[in-house]
Every structure is written in structure tokens, then in C-alpha cells.
A = this chain, B = another copy of it.
Amino acid sequence: MEKVKIIEVGPRDGLQNIDFFVPTKQKIQFIKRLAACGISEMQIGSFVAPQAIPQFQDIREMVKGIKALKNVVLSALIPNIRGAENALSCGIGKFIFFFSVSSAHNYRNVRQTPEESIKELRHICQKYLDDSGITFQAALATVFGCPFAGEIKTDAVLRAVEKTADCGVTEITLCDTVGFGNPKMIEEKFSACQKRFPEITFGAHFHNTRGLALANTLRAYEIGIRSFDAATGGLGGCPYAPNSSGNVATEETVFLFEQMGIKTGIDVQKLLSVCRFLQKTLPQANITSSLFQAGLPKKHKLVDDSKRGKTK
């Protein structure tokens, strides 16, 4: 049986750029409802300085509210040693380290060169990788294009992956941060990485900024990628394209795979209820999912319609 892992990033990527604070209780409810859909892994927030991303100033309290959740890996973004310490003390079991292949983007994002970011990653890995029981994942931003630097060469991606792998990380996500990717480019960059680093598990993180996210998802699946980030409701947006579509919607990603007979373990009907919950409780959120607008197709009956007579 073919199956894929869908990592829900709505609570983290979906909420981080929203310009109002979502009350802690509401975030906890959002995460609990997502977990009830069968999601097996979720990025719940970032351990960053509150002034950098005020949305996650309550992350300790949030984690308390969701710690008891079973059957779901809760991960968080940790930008530095301090974030890692805080995450560990909260009981977070999976760390996501994030940096951009593009110097221009990384500098604007975290005020560091990619080299400085990798040095940070090495410190964190040296301290936590071996005996803390922590799982590590690295997310490489702007792999498929950068709003400042334009196109990113595959060689630059390979070098960034190499340095990340050298730190001991074995799960690496390639991110189309601003929706510049297309299926051909997806294939080129992922295939080059898979070929060169067969020991690494690569995941995909696509944004639907220009409508291509599910086509990119399909192509990534076709070449062997089995881990996909997605945000329920298509939350997320892009700071460089106001009002644009956000992360690829979890419900559409699940729908794509399940309709093709590829198991996700996620109940799409329940995800649509979470969208309704979001719409009600966060009316300011930009829910861009077509599936949410249209609803699921009525349960298919298999009809050999050409044999039927005139409809009454």
C-alpha cells in the first residue's frame, strides 16, 4: 500500500505572519482539532525571541496545553541554542532548524549569512543530537527561488544540503518559500539531492502562491518524495505577495493523495471542519483552499451510465 506523510505546518507557518495575536486557548484548540484528524506530525510554533515573532510569545503555555496529545509528533522551529534549550525544557521532541540557501533571504530573515546559520546548526547538533532523544530536521528555504536573488542554482542547494548533512541531520526539507517552483525544477533539484545524498530523507514544503503547489506535489511524489508539509486552509501567505495564496492546503494535499489511492492516515472530512472552525474563530485568516469552497464530491457510486435509459 502506497502511503505518504503529511506534516501539518498551519499552527507554525500559517500563524507566524498573521498580524494579530491568536489567543493561546484558540491555538491549543486548533492544534487539538488537527490532531483529531489523524495528523501524525505537526509544527506547532517557533522558539524565537517574542519581539521577532510575537505570535509565539506564549509557546510555553501552548505546549502545556497540548502535551498530552497522543500519536502525534509535535515539532517546533528552533533558530539557535537558546531556542533549543527552551524547546527541550518544554518537552518538544523534534527540532526544526531553518535557514535559507539564499544569502539575501537568510540575512533578511535571521540576520545571518547561511554559513553563520550552519555554524549555529552544528552547535545545536553537537549539544543535542546524540543523547537527548531529540529528532532533528532541517528546512532549507528559497531552494526553488528567492524574492531577492532570483533563481538558485542546484549546486548551491547541494552544497547547503552537504553542510547540513555534515552536522548529522538526516531529515531535510526543501522549501519553495515564495512559490517560484515548477514541476521541472522540483524534479531537477530533488533528484540531484536524492542522487547525491541517498542516506538523507528529503521532504517537500510548497507554497501555492502561483497555483502550482499540487502539480509540484504530484511531481515530487512521482520521483519518490514521501513527506509533504501543508497548512490546513492554505493558511500562510507570502510576505512578498500580499493577499496571495499561502502554504499548499492540507485538505487539498490529502484529497489529491487519497483520491489516487495513496494513504495519508488523515480524515479529509474532519479537516474541512477544522477549516470551518478557523473561518469562525479567525475570520481574518486567509483561507484560500478551493476544496474548502466546493466541498468533497458526493460519495462516488460506480455507474455504467451508458446502459441506463432516459432519466426520469
Interface check A180, CB cutoff 8 A: yes
Are B159 and A306 in contact, CB atoms less than 8 angstroms apart? yes
A68 at interface (Cβ–Cβ under 8 A)? no
Contact flag A260-B183 (CB < 8 Å), given A214-B212, A255-B211: yes
* Contact A209–B290 (Cβ < 8 Å): yes
- Known A-B contacts A179-B294, A210-B297; the reply to A305 vs B149 at CB < 8 A is yes
Cβ–Cβ < 8 Å partners of A290 in chain B: 179, 208-211, 244-245, 288
Contact B211 A151 (CB under 8 A): no
Taken residue by residue from 50 to 70, chain A's Cβ proximity to chain B (1 for < 8 Å, 0 otherwise) reads as 000000000000000000000
User: Size band of the A side of the interface?
Assistant: 35 or more
- Pairwise interchain contact B243-A293, C-beta atoms closer than 8 A: yes
Minimal Cβ-Cβ distance residue in B for A187:
B260
* Interface hits, A295-312 → B, CB 8 Å: 295-311
Question: Quick check: which of A17-25, A90-98, A99-107 contacts chain B, the rest being far away?
Answer: A99-107
Given A113-B310, A211-B289, A260-B182, are A155 and B304 neighbors across the interface (CB < 8 Å)? Answer: yes
- Bound-complex Cα distance A305 to B294 (A): 42
- Each complex incorporates copies of this chain amounting to 2
Tell whether, in the assembled complex, residue B289 and residue A150 are in contact, meaning their CB atoms are under 8 Å apart: no
Can you spell out 28 A-B residue pairs with CB atoms less than 8 angstroms apart? A101-B306, A103-B305, A103-B306, A103-B311, A107-B310, A114-B305, A145-B297, A145-B300, A148-B311, A149-B308, A150-B302, A151-B302, A155-B306, A156-B304, A156-B306, A180-B297, A209-B294, A210-B290, A210-B291, A210-B296, A210-B297, A211-B289, A212-B214, A212-B252, A212-B255, A212-B256, A243-B293, A245-B290
The interface of chain A, by Cβ under 8 A from chain B, is: 101-104, 107-108, 113-114, 145-153, 155-156, 159-160, 178-180, 182-185, 208-212, 214-215, 217-219, 238, 241, 243-245, 249, 252, 255-256, 259-261, 288-291, 293-311
Given contacts A103-B311, A152-B303, A212-B255, 10 further A-B contacts (CB under 8 A): A113-B311, A145-B297, A179-B297, A183-B260, A210-B297, A211-B256, A212-B256, A214-B215, A243-B293, A245-B290
